[in-house]
């Protein structure tokens, strides 16, 4: 009886273990290419096994107890096992899984590497094929029974266990979709699931087109604009739509709208024209037109311009060659929407002409104490009517002899005034006397550089006040020069001419005498040099033939004295030669100077 009960209990336990075994999951061990990275730095004496797996709590055991270390690296989602290099089997364990083994490890070597991928193995009994598609494609697929599943539609489930799978499709801007698919054994099936959009389509247009479209203050484009489809459609919600016309002449528009998902709305708007037109017809041309202090070239050409309605200030100025003679026109006006405004007028001419007739030219003319180049060059000018001060300054030769002319001018519109200017220059007489007759006189005007010759100096005409250079010359006489300034009175000048022979004979004689004296000095110093040289040689011979030291000493001193005297004579001779040559040169120089002056 006891044995029977024990057998029954054993059968019950075996049945329970068998049922538990059938509910356990299995491992799928797949070899991978060996990585090139070196992971054995910490255990260089071991081989290494790298396991890629998302299954938590994996544990590895060696039948020989030769696992030195094992670790899980979270950031890399992999396990690393370090094995001693011995033949062994390594088992794989994890709660809820049937124990599995790696292939036998034999002939292991230090630093040798192996790589595997371990996943959960599904039951392959009763398998089928299933193609899952979505409209639109590209949806993410998740499966309740397979948490690590991560694929996109369209996807082909090949040889999946025959059962019902709970799936969920998700795609950006579409409502998530949950469904069940049934994979039947030994069948190939397919199914397409329609995703519901989560956006709204908005079509926006305006008249005129080209308006900038702002959605909640964000620029989206210009009209006509279609905000539709998965890439451009708007999320359901409330929006502020603003249309800003491309032209400033139209009024902006703002509207608040509410959009529902999977809907289509259309917004149309005709912008209000808030502009008018302005044109000016003003003469004479050319013109400069300022509208609100800004130059407008289109108006100046007489063409029409478009403006926003409102208040404006306009100023019209003639800018031609005679612009200063026309008074500007200013005006304020109000432009209404759609108004056509025309401003027509003739700018008034308020000028006259003055003509200047000076008695002497050239002159520099001043108007109101300002140098006037145009009036100076043309001697006539067009001016605005009024009172002017005119000043004329003579600018030719001897300008200091001419006093400026000043007068006042009263000019009226349309006047043509002729204004004569009579200059009265200051002149003085120059009276010259000389100690000889028949000499030639030249007078150079220092201001103009012009020289005038006079054979009869007593007939010199009156001269303008100023600076002059005088030159009096006669053959055989030294040229006489004078500088004079003629100011406010006549000038009397006496000239003395000297004969060249009287001037140069003294200088030539002086240097001839110096030459002879220097020659005498050279002859005397040559004799002294010869004498002291001979005496030096005699004393030196006596010095060499002396029989006593005292006699030798005396002759030696006499030799040195004679030698020094000879050197002194040589120096004096050289100086005498130099002075003789220099005196001869100076004598020749003054002889040539006399000859040159006589020939001139």
Please check whether residues 36 and 83 belong to one and the same domain.
Answer: yes
Q: Is residue 1 part of a domain?
A: no
pLDDT of 269? 92
As a whole number, the mean pLDDT across the chain is 85
Per-residue tokens: 280 = 């000016």
Asked if residue 58 lies in contact with residue 79, where contact means CB atoms within 8 angstroms, the answer is: yes
Residue 1 scores a pLDDT above 60: no
Please check whether residues 43 and 109 belong to one and the same domain.
Answer: yes
Please check whether residues 205 and 190 belong to one and the same domain.
Answer: no
pLDDT of 15? 45
Of 599 and 592, more confident: 592
* Mean pLDDT in residue range 8-20: 46
Which CATH number does the domain housing residue 227 bear? 2.60.40.1120
What are 18-71's pLDDT values in tens digits?
444 445 677 888 888 876 565 556 788 899 999 988 888 899 999 988 898 998
**Cα–Cα distance between 151 and 143 in angstroms, integer?**
10
pLDDT band with cut points at 50, 70 and 90 for residue 398: confident
Last residue within a domain, chosen from 421, 448, 468 = 421
* CA-CA-CA-CA dihedral for 212, 218, 224, 230, to nearest 10: 170
Per-residue tokens: 19 = 């049922």
pLDDT of 154? 93
Unique residue bearing structure tokens 């396991």: 51
Q: Is residue 8 part of a domain?
A: no
Q: Is residue 13 part of a domain?
A: no
DSSP 392-439: EEE-STTGGGS--EEEEEEE-TT-EEEEEE-----EE-EEEEESSSS-
DSSP 39-55: --SS-TTSEEEEEE---
Of 5 and 309, more confident: 309
Please check whether residues 43 and 103 belong to one and the same domain.
Answer: yes
The total of other beta-carbon atoms located within 10 Å of residue 412's CB is: 11
Q: Is residue 514 part of a domain?
A: yes
Asked if residue 253 lies in contact with residue 242, where contact means CB atoms within 8 angstroms, the answer is: yes
Residue 364 scores a pLDDT above 90: yes
Which CATH number does the domain housing residue 117 bear? 2.60.40
pLDDT band with cut points at 50, 70 and 90 for residue 452: confident
Q: Is residue 232 part of a domain?
A: yes
Please check whether residues 515 and 589 belong to one and the same domain.
Answer: yes
What are 306-335's pLDDT values in tens digits?
999 999 999 999 998 888 888 899 999 999
Backbone angles phi, psi at 425, to 5 degrees: -70, 155
Please check whether residues 515 and 458 belong to one and the same domain.
Answer: no
Please check whether residues 488 and 508 belong to one and the same domain.
Answer: no
Stated pTM of the model: 0.39
pLDDT of 293? 92
Per-residue tokens: 171 = 């795609």
* Distance, CA of 291 to chain centre: 35
Please check whether residues 513 and 451 belong to one and the same domain.
Answer: no
Please check whether residues 411 and 453 belong to one and the same domain.
Answer: no
What are 540-588's pLDDT values in tens digits?
888 888 788 888 888 788 888 888 888 888 888 898 888 888 878 877 7
pLDDT band with cut points at 50, 70 and 90 for residue 358: very high
Residue 381 scores a pLDDT above 80: yes
pLDDT of 582? 86
Beta bridge partners of 215: 218, 241
Last residue within a domain, chosen from 72, 95, 121 = 121
Please check whether residues 579 and 512 belong to one and the same domain.
Answer: yes
Residue 476 scores a pLDDT above 80: no
For residue 302, what are the CA distances in angstroms to 1, 89, 281, 285, 305? 131, 104, 6, 10, 9
pLDDT of 38? 58
* Mean pLDDT in residue range 408-419: 91
Residue 160 scores a pLDDT above 70: yes
**Cα–Cα distance between 235 and 199 in angstroms, integer?**
5
Residue 118 scores a pLDDT above 60: yes
pLDDT of 501? 66
Residue 412 scores a pLDDT above 70: yes
Of 72 and 512, more confident: 72
Q: Is residue 15 part of a domain?
A: no
Residue 226 scores a pLDDT above 80: yes
Of 262 and 314, more confident: 314
For residue 204, what are the CA distances in angstroms to 243, 260, 339, 423, 576? 9, 16, 30, 87, 122
Quote the domain boundaries for residue 232.
Answer: 201-270
Please check whether residues 34 and 49 belong to one and the same domain.
Answer: yes
Of 203 and 591, more confident: 203
Per-residue tokens: 486 = 């003629």
Collapsed DSSP state (helix, strand, coil) of residue 583 = helix
Collapsed DSSP state (helix, strand, coil) of residue 296 = coil
Last residue within a domain, chosen from 296, 330, 346 = 346
Number of domains making up the chain:
7
Please check whether residues 111 and 50 belong to one and the same domain.
Answer: yes
Q: Is residue 399 part of a domain?
A: yes
Asked if residue 342 lies in contact with residue 282, where contact means CB atoms within 8 angstroms, the answer is: no
Q: Is residue 218 part of a domain?
A: yes
Residue 292 scores a pLDDT above 90: yes
Collapsed DSSP state (helix, strand, coil) of residue 240 = strand
**Cα–Cα distance between 366 and 372 in angstroms, integer?**
5
* Mean pLDDT in residue range 389-404: 89
Collapsed DSSP state (helix, strand, coil) of residue 287 = strand
pLDDT of 214? 95
Q: Which of 353-362, 374-383, 422-431, 581-590 has the lowest mean pLDDT?
A: 581-590
* Mean pLDDT in residue range 496-510: 72
**Cα–Cα distance between 216 and 256 in angstroms, integer?**
10
């Amino acid at each position: 009886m006891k044995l029977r009960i024990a057998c029954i209990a054993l059968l019950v336990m075996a049945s329970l273990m068998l049922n538990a075994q059938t509910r356990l999951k299995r491992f799928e061990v797949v070899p991978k290419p060996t990585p090139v990275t070196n992971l054995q730095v910490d255990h260089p004496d071991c081989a290494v096994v790298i396991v890629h797996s998302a299954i938590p709590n994996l544990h590895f055991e060696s039948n020989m107890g030769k696992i030195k270390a094992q670790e899980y690296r979270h950031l890399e989602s992999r396990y690393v096992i370090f094995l001693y290099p011995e033949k062994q089997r390594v088992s794989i364990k994890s709660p809820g899984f049937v124990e599995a083994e790696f292939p036998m490890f034999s002939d292991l070597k230090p630093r040798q590497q192996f790589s595997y991928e371990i996943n959960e193995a599904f039951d392959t009994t009763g398998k089928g094929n299933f193609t899952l598609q979505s409209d639109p494609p590209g949806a993410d697929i998740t499966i309740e029974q397979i948490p690590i599943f991560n694929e996109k539609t369209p996807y082909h489930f090949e040889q999946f266990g025959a059962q019902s799978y709970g799936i969920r499709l998700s795609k950006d801007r579409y409502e998530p979709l949950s469904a069940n698919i049934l994979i039947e054994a030994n069948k190939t099936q397919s199914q397409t699931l329609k995703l519901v959009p989560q956006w709204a389509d908005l079509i926006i247009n305006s008249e005129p087109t080209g308006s900038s479209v702002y959605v909640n203050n964000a620029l989206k484009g210009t009209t006509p604009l279609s905000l539709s489809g998965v890439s451009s459609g708007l999320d359901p919600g409330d929006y502020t739509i603003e249309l800003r016309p491309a032209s400033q002449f139209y009024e902006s528009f703002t509207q608040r709208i509410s959009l529902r998902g999977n809907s289509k709305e259309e917004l149309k708007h005709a912008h209000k024209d808030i502009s008018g037109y302005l044109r000016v017809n003003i003469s004479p041309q050319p013109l400069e037109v300022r509208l609100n202090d800004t130059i407008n070239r289109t108006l100046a050409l007489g063409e029409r311009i478009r403006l926003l309605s409102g208040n404006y200030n306009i100023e019209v100025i003639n800018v031609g060659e005679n612009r200063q003679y026309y008074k500007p026109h200013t005006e304020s006006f109000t432009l209404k929407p759609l108004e056509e405004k025309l401003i027509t007028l003739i700018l008034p001419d308020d000028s006259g002409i003055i003509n200047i007739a000076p008695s002497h030219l050239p002159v520099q003319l001043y108007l109101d104490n300002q140098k006037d180049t145009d009036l100076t060059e043309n001697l006539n000018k067009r001016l605005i009517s009024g009172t002017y001060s005119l000043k004329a300054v003579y600018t030719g030769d001897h300008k200091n002899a001419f006093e400026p002319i000043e007068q006042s001018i009263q000019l009226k519109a349309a006047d043509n005034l002729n204004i004569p200017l009579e200059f009265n220059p200051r002149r003085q007489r120059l009276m010259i006397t000389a100690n000889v007759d028949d000499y030639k006189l030249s007078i150079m005007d220092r201001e103009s550089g012009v020289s005038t010759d006079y054979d009869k100096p007593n007939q010199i005409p009156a001269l303008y006040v100023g600076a002059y250079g005088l030159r009096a010359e006669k053959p055989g006489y030294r040229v006489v020069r004078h500088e004079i300034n003629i100011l406010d009175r006549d000038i009397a000048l006496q000239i003395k001419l000297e004969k060249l022979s009287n001037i140069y004979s003294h200088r030539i004689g002086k240097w001839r005498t110096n030459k002879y004296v220097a020659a005498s000095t050279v002859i005397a110093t040559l004799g002294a040099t010869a004498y002291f040289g001979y005496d030096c040689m005699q004393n030196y011979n006596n010095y060499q033939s002396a029989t006593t030291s005292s006699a030798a000493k005396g002759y030696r001193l006499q030799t040195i004295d004679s030698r020094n005297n000879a050197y002194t004579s040589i120096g004096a001779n050289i100086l005498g030669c130099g002075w003789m040559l220099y005196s001869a040169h100076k004598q020749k120089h003054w002889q040539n100077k006399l000859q040159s002056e006589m020939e001139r």
